[in-house]
Structures are given as C-alpha cells and as structure tokens.
Structure 1
Amino acid sequence: MKWEELMSLKRQGDTSKRLRKEQDDTRLGFEVDYDRIIFSSAFRGLQDKTQVIPLSKTDFVHTRLTHSLEVSVVGRSLGRLVGKQILEKYPYLTEIHGYHMNDFGAVVAAAALSHDIGNPPFGHSGEKAIGEYFKTGNGQRFKAALSDKEWQDFIDFEGNANGFSVLASDREGVEGGLRISYATLGAFMKYPKESLPKKPTSKICDKKYGFFQQDKAFFEDVAKEVGLIANKSVGDIGFERHPLAYLVEAADDICYTIIDFEDGINLGLIQEEFALEYLIKLVKKGIDPKKYNELTTKEDRISYLRALAIGSLIGDAVKVFMENEEAILNGNFPFSLMDKSQYKAQMEDIIQISIKNVYQSKEVIEKEVVGYQVINTLLDKFCTAYINKTNGIASNYDNLMLKLLPERFQVIKDDTMYHKLLHICHFVSLLTDGKALQLFDTINGKK
C-alpha cells in the first residue's frame, strides 16, 4: 500500500481528481469529513445511546456521543504523531503531493468520530438482539428468501457495517450518504470484509465484517481507490486494513479501557483503591506525587490519573505503529496495536475489573434485558407491516404502524426481501434508547 493512495481525497461521484497540493487549507477536505459527520442526524442521536451505563442522568457517565468525541480527540493525537514521523520518513509526500502532518490527524479524528455511528440502541446487546431476532426469533421465517451472505448480514448484525451504510449509502435524492473522503472511509473500515466466510483467519481484520451486501460495490470501489490489499479467494471479498484503521481502533481501545474504568469508579461500582493499584502501573513514569497528593476529591484524582494513562498509551501506540509501519503497509500485521503494547497486561487487568464490576452490574444487565424485548418487538411489528405493505396485503394496523416511521423510512419500494428487511433494521438501529422505549410503550398501549 502507498500513502499517497491511502490518503485519497476522492468522494463518491467525483469526476475529477482531488489533489492535496491544490486544497484550500482553510477548508481542507479531510476536515470537511469531520464537519459532515458531526452535523449528521445519526451522530446527534448518539447523545441518547448507551455507552455502558444505561440512560444515566449523572454528570460523569458517558453516552455514545461523549465517548465518540473523546475517541476522536485521542485519534487526532495518534494521527498527528504518526503523520509527523511518516512525512519525515517519506518526504516526497510533502514535497510532491503536499501532505501535512495534520492531514493524518484529521482523517483519524473523522473516522474515530464516526466509529460508533451505526451502533443500535442499548449498547452492544442491541446488535445481538437484532441478530437473534433473525437467528432464533420470528425473523427465521425470512431465511428462505435470502442468500447465505444476506442471511449472515442479519444473524450477525454488525454496527461497523451499519456505520458504513450511514456514511456511504445512497437514499432518495442523497447520493453517497455523507460523501466522506475515501481516506476517511478507509480508516473507518476496521473489518474490511463481508459477513461470510465468518472469521476465516485469526487476523484482526477478519474478526468481524465491515459492510452489508447492499454496499458491496461501493466498498470495493473505496478499497480499490485507496489501494487496499485483497486477501480473499475468488468469490469472497476481503482486504487487509487501511493503516490508519489501526489508529482508529487504538483510540477506541484506549478510551473504553480507561474511561469505562473511570465511570465505574465515579459511580462507586469500582473502589477508588483499584485506580491506584491499576492506573499507577500505566503512569508511574509521569506522575507528580506532590500534585497528586494536593487533589482533594476522588473525581479530580481519577481525572489526573486518567489523563496521564491516556497519554502513556498514546505514546506507546505510536511507537508500535512506527516500528511495524512497513509490515502494516505490506498487509503483514495481523494484530491490533494494543495487542503489542508494553501495557497490554495492565490494560487487560483493567478490562477484567470493568467486566466484573461495571459491564455485569445489575443496572447494565437490566438494560440489556429491556433492550432485547424492545428491539424484538419493534423489528417484528415493523418488518411485518412493511413487507405486508409491499405485498399489497397490509391491514389497517400495518398502515398505522408504518405511519410511526420517520418520513424517509415511509418510502415503500418494490425491493428484494433483503433490502426490505435491511431498511427496517437500519431504522431500528438509528433509534435512540429513549425513542426505542417510547415506540415500544406506544405499541404496547402504555402511552
């Protein structure tokens, strides 16, 4: 892979080449990506989507939106630090093509900002709930009408693939979704493969899948434009990762490891002593004992340690990336960056504490149970109504249900069964936690 291709400014529908040296630095294309994402309705919806702790109104617990903003900040730092060293290593990227250090930061920041944009309500259990509706619920009735790969898209419903649809799928009058640059779309693709074959290798890029069958052609167009390396046999689609996708993943890994731990401490689910025991291992080289001892509140002490910990992990991720940059460009780095971090053991210890005390807390379990019921009900009612309508057998109840859909989802198309089902899954996935609960209560006559 070549950096000048990986950093493509092309957007869907372009008829001429966008060259970096001809860009207006006051309105750089990569920064436009960030703006388009942050002003999108899908991104705004993340403010009422669970990160870990459900529907909490406390001041310090993260939603998907605050988490995404923090991941983008860490991603920008990672991108700039790596970009600086890339340009020093390959000066022609600046001299001939006009790339700047901040370009790398802008791409990683935009991709990181959108990394959760396709996640359904109720956290990761929302993805599982959609999948299980089709795998073991009433959605099983649709299997015979779908190809194997189409069926896999549903039974392993994936927020990353859904996010790619949000960013890139056409809809009536809107070509190319948000029209994000191909460099940012490439960096967004943590799992650049289709849903089958499932986990064909132990490579990190094959862990999940990154696009639905409906988006296959455009996904391949992006991969070809930025020069990703194909790694699947004839008939299957998959690629090695865009190098900057490793930085997006690292930013996410750093944030959820440290910040979910911080949330657990601030909520009283994890004892403050654990912060000292576990975070101190990450920050012992940078901590100022005098400054730390002057902090009088738990929140301030944890914030101080968190900031130092994130700084340590950023520096280490950049080191791992640059040590393996040539292997990454050649498609020969099958790990995440943090898998090779000197702090891997410390991060795993922190995650295990969070799993035990936060992710498996009663409040989180209750949220997941409710989420399964809500999503199962919404999918069943809306899929039935939508398919009955397209088949010309809609009841009055079906018609009423369809009127509950937002305007852009009320468009009835004579599509394949796959597209009809994906249309409803896309609608449900973009609901906030609160709106999903509201619709559930309406359907069940509680409102």
Structure 2
Amino acid sequence: MNWEQLLSLKRVGDTHKRLRKEQDETRLGFEVDYDRIIFSSEFRSLQDKTQVVPLSKTDFVHTRLTHSLEVSVVGRSLGRKVGQKLLEKHPHLRDVHGYQMNDFGAIVAAAALAHDIGNPPFGHSGEKAIGEFFKSGSGRFFEDQLTKKQYQDLCDFEGNANGLKILTESRKGRLGGLRLSYATLGAFTKYPKESLPKKPTTHIADKKYGFFQNEKETFKDIAQELGLVKRGGEEDVSYCRHPLVYLVEAADDICYTIIDFEDGINLGLIQEEYALEYLINLVRDSIQTKTYNALQSTQDRLSYLRSLAINTLISEAVEIFMNNEEAILKGEFSKSIIDCSAYEAQINDIIKLSISNIYQSRDVIDKEIVGYKVINELLNIFTKAVSNNLNGELSNFDVLILKVLEPFIDLQKDTIYDSLLSVCFYVSKMSDSNAMLTYQKLKGNHL
C-alpha cells in the first residue's frame, strides 16, 4: 500500500479526481468529513445512547456522544503527530502532492468521531440482543431463507458494519450517504472483511467484520480506490487495514480504558484510593508529585491523572506506529497498537478492575436485561410484519406496523434479507429512550 492512494479525497459520485494541492485551505475535504458527521442525525442520537451504564441519567457518566468526541480529540492528536513524522520520512507527500500534517489528524479525527455511529441502543448488549434474536430466538425462523453470509450478518450483528451502512447508504436525494472521502471511510473500517469466514486468523483485522453483504460492493470500490491489499481466499472479500485504522483504534482503546475507569470512580463503583493507585502506576514517570498532592478534590486528582495517562499513551502509540510503518503498509502488523504497549500490565490491571466493578456491576446488568427485552420485542414485531408482507399473510396489526416502517423499507422490491437488515438498521438507529418509548407504545402502555 502507498500513502498517495491511501489519502484519497474521492467521494461517491465524483466525476473528476480531487487533488490535495488544489484544495481550499480554509475548508479541506477531510475537514468537511468531520462536519458532515457531526451534523448528521445519526451522530446526534448518540447523546442518548449507552456508553458504560445503560439508561444512566447521572451527570458524570459518558454517553456514546461524549465518548465519541473524546476519542476524536485523541485521534486528532495521534494523526497530527504521526503525520508530522510521515512527512519527514516521505517528503514527496508534502512537496509534490501538497499533504500537510493536519490532513492526517483530520482523517483520524473524522473516522474516530464516527467510530460508534452504528452502535444500537443499550451499548454492546444491544448488538448481542440483535444477534441472539436471530441466532437463538424467533429470528431462527429465517435461517433457511438466507445465504450463510446473510444469516451470519444478522447472528453477529456488528456495529462497525452498521456504521459503514449509515455513512455510505444511498437513499432518495442522498447519493452515497454522507459522501465522505474514501480516506476517511477506509480509516473508519476497523475490520475490512465480510462476516464469514469468522475469525479465520489471529490478525486483528479478522477479529470482527466491517460490512454487511449489502455493502460488499461499496467497500470493494473503496478498497480498490485506496489500494488496500486483498487478503483471504478467492471466494471471500477481505482486505488489509487502512494504516490509519490503527490510530482510530488506539484512540478508542485509550479513551475507554481511562475514561470508563474514571466513570466507575465517579459513580462510586471503584474506591478512589484503590483506583488512583492504578492510574499513578501508569504515569509514574511523568507525574509531578508536588502538583498532584496540592489537588483537593477527587475530580481534580482524576482529571490530572487522566490527562497524564492519555498523553503518555498517545506518545507511545505514535512511536509504535512509526516503528512498524513498513509492516503496517504491507498488512503484516497483526496486533492493535495498545497490545504492543510497554504499559500493557498497567492497562490490563485497569481493564480487569473495570470489568469486575463497572461492566459486571448489578446496576449495569439490571439495565442491560431491560435492553435485551426491549430489542427482542421490537424485532419480533417488526420482522414478523415484513415477513408476513412478503408471504402475503398480513394481519391488520402488521399493516399498521408497516406504516411505521415504510420510510425505511422498500416493501415492493426488498428481499427477505434486505427487509430483515432494514429492520435491524431501523432499530439500531434508535436512542435508548426512543427504543423504550416505542416498546411501551407497542405494548399498549403509552399513547
């Protein structure tokens, strides 16, 4: 892979090549990507989607929106620092093509901003609830009507693939979805493969999948434009990662490791003295003891340690990326950046404590149970209606449900796979509160 192709400014529908040196410096194409994401309705809905604690109304707790903004800020710093070093190493990118340090930061920031845009309500339990509906619930009924890959898309419903669908799906008056640059779409796609074969290797790019069968041709076009290297067998669609994916992923890893931990402390799920010791172990080489001891409140101490920890991990991530740039461009770098960290032991200690005290706390579990129930009921009602429509067996209730779904599903043309995926897409874009309200209405408990 080469950086000239990887930094493509092309957008869906372009009839001519976009050159970096011809860009308006006051509004660069990569910065337009960021603007389009942040003004999208799908991004706004993240303000009412779970990050750690589902349905939490606590001021301290992060939503998907605040988490995404923070990941974007960290991603921008990572991109700029790496961009500066890449331009020193490959000066023709600047001197011949006109790329600047901030271009790398803008691409990573935009991709990081959108990294959770496809997540359904109720956090990762929402993904699992959709998958289990088809794997072991009422949705098993559809298995024989789908190809293996189509069925796997539903059984392992993936927020990353759903995100690419949101960013790229055409609809009337909106060719190519948000029409982002291919560089940003490439940096967004953490797992550039289809749902089967499942985890064919231990390479980080094979951990999950990144596009549904409906978006397969779209991603192949993106991969070809960016010059991504083909991987896998002849019958499988799988590519090497865009190099900047590693920075988007690192930004996410850094934020959820440190900031979820911070939420746990603020919620009283982790004792302050115990938790601060874990963070101090991560920043022992950079902490100013006098400054730290002068801080009076838990929030101030947390804020200071969080800042040091994030800065430490950013600097290390840049060094790891540059040390492995050649392997990354060849598609041979098989781990995430955070897995190569010299602070792996300290990070693992923090994650273990977060799992036991936050992610598996009674409050979180109780609320995730509610999420499972809500999503299962919504899918049961919606999938039954679209199935009965295709079979010509509509009940009066189904007719009413289809009026709700009509703006999102082509009832005349869609196959069963298209219809089922559109139902999942519709449910996935709901906020936590909207999903709850819709559930209550369908159960007859709310007008």
State how far apart, in whole Å, the 1-side matches of 2:144 and 2:46 are: 34
Aligned counterpart, 2:423: 424
- Cα distance in 2 between the residues matched to 1:150 and 1:48: 30
Contact 2:158 2:210 (C-alpha < 8 Å) held by counterparts: yes
Q: What's the counterpart of residue 434 of structure 1?
A: 433
Which deviates more, 65-74 or 47-56?
Answer: 47-56
For residues 342 and 25 of structure 2, what CA distance do their matches in structure 1 show? 37
SS at match of 2:278: helix
> Quick check: 1:118–1:159 contact (8 Å CA) kept in 2?
yes
Which 5+ residue runs of structure 2 have no aligned equivalent? none
Deviation at 1:393, TM superposition (A): 2.9
Deviation at 1:412? 2.4
- The residue that corresponds to 2:108 in the other structure is 108
Which residue of the partner structure matches residue 35 of structure 2? 35
User: How big is the shift at 1:431?
Assistant: 0.6
In the TM superposition, 1:176-325 aligns within 5 A as 176-325=176-325
Listed one character per residue, the Cα deviations across residues 92-127 of structure 1 (whole Å, up to 9, x for unaligned) are 000100000000000000000000000011110111
Aligned-partner residue type, residue 122 of structure 1? F
Query: CA–CA distance in 1 between the matches of 2:22 and 2:392?
Result: 54
SS in 2 for 1:409: coil
* Whole-angstrom CA distance in 1 between matches of 2:431 and 2:241: 30
Whether the aligned pair in 2 keeps the contact of 1:47 and 1:64 (CA below 8 Å) is: yes
The CA distance in 1 between the partners of 2:370 and 2:401, in whole Å, is 21
Matches within 5 A, 1:119-158: 119-158=119-158
Cα shift at 1:15? 1.2
Query: For 2:392 and 2:410, how far apart are their aligned partners in 1?
Result: 14
Counterpart CA distance in 2 for 1:223 and 1:413 is: 32
Query: Residues of 2 paired with 1:136 and 1:391: CA distance?
Result: 23
CA deviation map 1:34-60 (0-9, x unaligned): 000001111001000000112222221
> Deviations along 1:2-38, whole A, 9 cap, x unmatched?
0010000000111110000000011100000000000
The letter for the 2-side match of 1:258 is I
The one-letter code sitting in structure 1 at the alignment partner of 2:108 is V
- Residue type of the partner of 1:424? V
Q: CA deviation at 1:410?
A: 5.6
Partner Cα distance (1:352, 1:167) in 2: 34
What code does the residue aligned with 2:326 have? E
After alignment, is 140-149 or 385-394 more displaced? 385-394
Name the aligned partner's letter for residue 328 of structure 1: I
Quote the residue 2:16 is aligned against. Answer: 16
Aligned residue-pair number: 446
Deviations 1:315-340 (A, max 9, x none): 01001000001110111100000111
User: Shift in Å at residue 404 of structure 1?
Assistant: 3.5
Deviation of the 1:292 alpha carbon: 1.2
Alignment check: 8 A CA contact 1:390 1:414 kept: no
Is the Cα contact below 8 Å between 1:190 and 1:205 reproduced in 2? yes
- Paired residue for 1:444? 443
Unaligned segments of structure 1, at least 5 residues: none
> How far, CA to CA, are the matches of 1:102 and 1:326 in structure 2?
21
The aligned amino acid for 1:344 is E
2:352 aligns to what? 352
- TM-aligned CA deviation for residue 172 of structure 1: 2.5
Deviation per CA, 1:271-302, whole angstroms, max 9, x where unpaired?
11123321112211221222211211111111
- For the structure 1 residues 329 and 410, does the alpha-carbon distance in structure 2 shift closer, same or farther, using more than 3 Å as the test? closer
Q: Distance in 2 between matches of 1:301 and 1:427?
A: 42
**2:58 corresponds to:** 58
1:303 counterpart letter in structure 2? S
Deviation at 1:390, TM superposition (A): 4.0
Equivalents in 2 of 1:54, 1:192: separation in Å?
Answer: 29
Please report the TM-score for the alignment, with normalisation by the length of structure 1: 0.98
In percent, how many aligned pairs have the same letter?
65
TM-score, normalising length: structure 2: 0.98
CA distance in 2, matches of 1:37, 1:231: 30
Query: Quick one: distance in 1 between partners of 2:131 and 2:366?
Result: 19
Equivalent residue letter for 1:217: E
Q: What SS does the corresponding residue of 1:292 show, helix, strand or coil?
A: helix
Partner SS, residue 408 of structure 1: coil
| Inter-partner Cα distance in structure 1 for 2:245 and 2:189 | 6
